[in-house]
Copies of this chain bind each other. A is one copy, B any other.
Amino acid sequence: MKRWARESVRKRGGCGFVPTLGALHKGHKSLIRKARRENSRVVVSVFVNPYQFRKKQYLAYPRDLKADAAVARAEGADVLFAPGCRRMYPNGFESFVDMPDMFKRLRRQKLGWHYRAVLVVVMKLFGIVRPDRAYFGLKDPHQLALIEMMVKEFNMPVKVRPCPTVRERDGLAYSSRNALLAPDERKTAAVIYRALKFARDETLATGAGNWRKTTSRMKAMVNSGQKAAVEHIELVDARSLLPPGKECREILVYVAARIGRQRLTDNIRFRIKQQT
């Protein structure tokens, strides 16, 4: 991969990169297609990074490299990069990217360790693949904000291209974890996107200042679904990830919920009129 990258940077046209955890679905396909349109070379990586999971989740994560290779090829990727874990972390790792303020905000979600590991692996993959553009779904808005911050602050020679979340017909965001839902859980899961749309409509009608009430009604809405339990909801300024203040122009509503044993996340973003 490193040799290919070294040769590749000498060519015109640019290299697009879609880093994934594998189990490629429609969401990934839309990323690969976008990369295909904007670059002359496209690399898709499949790497289930052990450090960003709890052990059980890591072992349960769906893996099917043959199917992934078929999807990547069908969508026009030039390279599928699927390094082994020992190759990526021969001696574990001791170098982190730290963002004390951003991580403090994320700690409310207790997921700082997760995003820290994500940043390390994204940094490593960028170093190996040397892309001109990297494609990430808007589905994980915190991950996206952290990666954008890292790329900006470290002047990394790559453009981060966010891509809209792809949804199923009932609104459920595509995710590899959807395949792990039982049929009744799958049906329940649509409540997440309904609650997000409710939050958007409510906020546009009653104002962002009303966020406590809005999120508590969302929570009740999701929890009313069978086997559904909200883990975390936030309704924040999309840029700062802090509660919406007077300057706020764009809202991010984010939900993480357990449906059965799976943890699903989704979000919605929308502009609001500035408060006066």
Contacts and interface: CB of A to CB of B under 8 A. Distances in A.
Interface of A: 2, 5-6, 9-12, 93-102, 120, 123-125, 127-128, 130, 149-150, 153-157
Contacts of A11: 10
Contact of A124 (B9, B95, B120, B155): B155
Given A94-B102, A97-B97, 13 more contacts: A5-B157, A10-B10, A94-B149, A95-B97, A95-B98, A95-B99, A95-B154, A98-B98, A120-B153, A123-B154, A125-B155, A127-B157, A128-B157
A126 to B, nearest CB: 8
A128 B155 contact: yes
B94 A153 contact: yes
Contacts of A153: 93-95, 120, 124
Task: Please give the count of copies of this chain that the complex contains.
Answer: 2
A149 B95 CA distance: 8
Contacts of A154: 95, 120, 123-124, 127
Contacts of A99: 94-96
A272 to B, nearest CB: 25
A119 B156 CA distance: 14
Nearest to A103: B94
A130 B150 CA distance: 17
A127 B100 contact: no
7 contacts: A2-B157, A9-B10, A95-B97, A96-B99, A97-B97, A124-B155, A127-B155
